[in-house]
Amino acid sequence: MLEGFKSQAATFAADVDQALYINLVFSIILAISVIGPMLYFAWKYRASNVKKEDIENVVHHTGLEITWTLVPTIMMFVLFYYGYSSMKALRTMPDSKNAITIKVEGSKWKWRYEYPANANGFVHKVGGAYTKPTMDGNGHVVENGTMGKSALYVPVGTNIILNMTAPLGDVIHSFYIPAFRMKEDVVPGRVTKQWFNATEVGEYDIECAEYCGTDHSYMFSRVVVMPKDKYEAWFNSNLDTPKGEYANSGDAVLQRHGCKSCHSIDTDKVLFGPSLKTRRLTKEQVLDVIENGQNKLGYAMGAMPADLVKGADAEKIATYVANGMQGKKPDAFATCAGCHGEDGKGQYGTAPSLVTYDVDLLRNVLKHGKKGMMGNMPKFPYVTEKEVSAIAEYLNK
Ligand SMILES: [Cu+2]
């Protein structure tokens, strides 16, 4: 549930973190400078170590007194500055003309989101249903019920104002998005406000942080941050929710990890790296590997030896592979088929597929990075297995 803290997905998240870290460091310094001397003096002046006649009554030490007044005062003002400035960012609502205002209702035990009417006069209402999760005898959830099913859909890089309330006769809730470092009470009969501007496409947890009643902890929902065009398309439609599980789609994953700044996904254009649209490999890449061999992606088969074929045979094979193995198969491909398979799709992850961006290839490229004739791709060790599958599915469809 604390996964959200791994991302700083809203404009003010970094400021809030900074305030927290400065607080933490200062607290440690202050604690050590008080507790440290206290323990030291307790030890140094223990009864067995001090003679009665040595005891003096020290009345004043101006230098010391000024230091221990001034230094903590300055530190406290520094803390105040960072706390105040990040709180100000959180509490200063953007102009509603430059923002989308969404109504949020928290009630026992669900969140409901209501959007302004779109051009067709349609009002999107998301969430609001509640079925309790089922649990086994040990209290482990076996069936989620509606928990986590509803989501607040918002466009990336846009000011969002939330007008939040709870129905009369309900209880106080607390709307909490850890990845945004944003939390605000939701109170029956009162409208509380909060805003954010999400910086990264993705999906983040929403929780109710009001842990005082039976089922607040099941008021688990999600905020789905979408590219602006995808959001607009949904908002202008009459669909209840955007089609598909957008945030976990390969497209969103590629966007989120910045793959699109180096790889074109929808054209053949080569940016910093190859286009991932149609061709798995260019002719030049294949020729380069045939000539030099390759051993950097961590396939179970280990290294591919250099110079297995040469000259015209190598040319023919490279053209054939770069064409996605369409057309007549050159006889010399038999050399390659031993490891890469007759269809060139690799064999159980031991040697790479030369045709598709399958899960094994993506996993290996992301884990090891890829330095090849086209350039140098950095490692992406934190891309999860679920995300790798989503990318593979997206690129191969
Ligand atoms: Cu609640």
Residues 387, 275 share a domain: yes
Of 71 and 261, the structure prediction assigns the larger pLDDT to 71
Q: Of 248, 282, 306, which residue constitutes the final position of a domain?
A: 248
Residues 188, 71 share a domain: no
Residue 183 has a pLDDT of 93
User: What's the CA-to-centroid distance between 216 and ligand 1, angstroms?
Assistant: 4
pLDDT band, very low/low/confident/very high, at 386 (cuts 50, 70, 90): confident
Give the 3-state secondary structure percentages of the chain, helix then strand then coil, rounded to 5: 40, 20, 40
Q: What is the average per-residue pLDDT within 71-76?
A: 92
Residues 238, 103 share a domain: yes
Whether 40 maps to a domain, the answer reads yes
- Residue 49: pLDDT over 90: no
Among 314, 301, 309, 317, smallest CA distance to 354 is for 317
- Residue 358: pLDDT over 90: no
Q: Of 194, 217, 248, which residue constitutes the final position of a domain?
A: 248
Tens-place pLDDT, residues 296-333: 888 888 889 998 998 899 999 999 998 888 888 899 99
- Residue 290: pLDDT over 60: yes
Whether 80 maps to a domain, the answer reads yes
- Cis omega (within 30 of 0) for bond into 109: yes
Count the alpha carbons within 13 Å of 59 in the hemisphere toward its beta carbon.
0
User: What's the CA-to-centroid distance between 256 and ligand 1, angstroms?
Assistant: 30
Total domains in the chain come to 3
User: What's the CA-to-centroid distance between 203 and ligand 1, angstroms?
Assistant: 21
Tens-place pLDDT, residues 222-273: 899 988 998 999 999 988 888 766 666 788 788 778 788 888 888 888 888 8
The CATH number of the domain holding residue 111 is: 2.60.40.420
Residue 394 has a pLDDT of 84
User: What's the CA-to-centroid distance between 212 and ligand 1, angstroms?
Assistant: 8
Q: Record the pTM.
A: 0.59
Q: Of 233, 248, 263, which residue constitutes the final position of a domain?
A: 248
User: What's the CA-to-centroid distance between 166 and ligand 1, angstroms?
Assistant: 10
- Residue 1: pLDDT over 60: no
Residues 310, 197 share a domain: no
User: What's the CA-to-centroid distance between 174 and ligand 1, angstroms?
Assistant: 6
User: What's the CA-to-centroid distance between 206 and ligand 1, angstroms?
Assistant: 11
Residues 206, 284 share a domain: no
User: What's the CA-to-centroid distance between 247 and ligand 1, angstroms?
Assistant: 25
Whether 54 maps to a domain, the answer reads no
User: What's the CA-to-centroid distance between 14 and ligand 1, angstroms?
Assistant: 27
Strand order of the β-sheet with 159-165 is: 125-127, 110-114, 99-107, 159-165, 192-197
Residues 306, 388 share a domain: yes
Tokens of 337: 């088929």
Whether 53 maps to a domain, the answer reads no
User: What's the CA-to-centroid distance between 172 and ligand 1, angstroms?
Assistant: 7
User: What's the CA-to-centroid distance between 23 and ligand 1, angstroms?
Assistant: 29
Mean pLDDT, the chain, whole residue set: 88
Q: For 170-262, where are the alpha helices, taking DSSP H only?
A: 228-235, 250-256
User: What's the CA-to-centroid distance between 173 and ligand 1, angstroms?
Assistant: 4
Residues 260, 363 share a domain: yes
User: What's the CA-to-centroid distance between 26 and ligand 1, angstroms?
Assistant: 34
Residues 241, 100 share a domain: yes
Residues 106, 122 share a domain: yes
d(CA 147, CA 110) in angstroms, rounded, equals: 8
The CATH number of the domain holding residue 79 is: 1.10.287.90
Residues 236, 183 share a domain: yes
User: What's the CA-to-centroid distance between 91 and ligand 1, angstroms?
Assistant: 22
Whether 56 maps to a domain, the answer reads no
User: What's the CA-to-centroid distance between 211 and ligand 1, angstroms?
Assistant: 7
DSSP reduced 3-state for 131: coil
Residues 266, 165 share a domain: no
Residues 273, 213 share a domain: no
Residue 277 has a pLDDT of 79
Q: What is the average per-residue pLDDT within 52-61?
A: 85
User: What's the CA-to-centroid distance between 189 and ligand 1, angstroms?
Assistant: 15
Please name the residues in contact with 225: beta carbons below 8 A apart, sequence gap of 6 or more. Answer: 9, 154, 155, 156, 198, 200, 201, 202, 203, 204, 247
Range of the domain at 376: 253-396
Whether 386 maps to a domain, the answer reads yes
User: What's the CA-to-centroid distance between 30 and ligand 1, angstroms?
Assistant: 36
Bridge partners for 164 per DSSP: 104, 192
Q: What is the average per-residue pLDDT within 19-39?
A: 94
User: What's the CA-to-centroid distance between 234 and ligand 1, angstroms?
Assistant: 28
Residue 80 has a pLDDT of 94
Residue 195 has a pLDDT of 95
What Cα–Cα distance (Å) separates residue 203 from each residue in 79, 156, 217, 221, 250?
Answer: 32, 11, 19, 10, 13
pLDDT band, very low/low/confident/very high, at 56 (cuts 50, 70, 90): confident
Q: What is the average per-residue pLDDT within 101-115?
A: 94
Residue 2 has a pLDDT of 63
